[in-house]
Amino acid sequence: MSKAFVDGLLQSHKVVVFSKSTCPYCVKARAALDSVSVNPAALQWVEIDERKDCSEIQDYLGSLTGARSVPRVFINGKFFGGGDDTAAAAKNGKLVNLLKEAGAV
């Protein structure tokens, strides 16, 4: 079930972020994405700590990305990085370029 949920989101949205509501790195990723004005229709934000299958989602994200930590930011179905990666890419211009290529800004 969790695998199908994650895969479905990755196929149906240009940008997907798996997050936890109390995570400071997730706040950093959100600020970075907000700073480049991601189209809200292209973005799916999932607070996995509010779901019963949180642990299963993290296990599956771990198998996809090599880590279970959050945030897990995906652009065009491909893993991009975590909070620090997303913030750094927002600062150096890489994030906005990737999002433009994806049609998400």
Interval 44-57: pLDDT, tens: 999 999 999 999 99
Region of residue 103 (phi > 0: left; psi between -120 and 50: alpha; otherwise: beta): left
Provide the whole-model pTM: 0.96
Domains, the chain, ranges and CATH? 2-102 (3.40.30.10)
Q: Please, which pLDDT band fits residue 1 given cuts at 50, 70 and 90?
A: confident
Region of residue 75 (phi > 0: left; psi between -120 and 50: alpha; otherwise: beta): beta
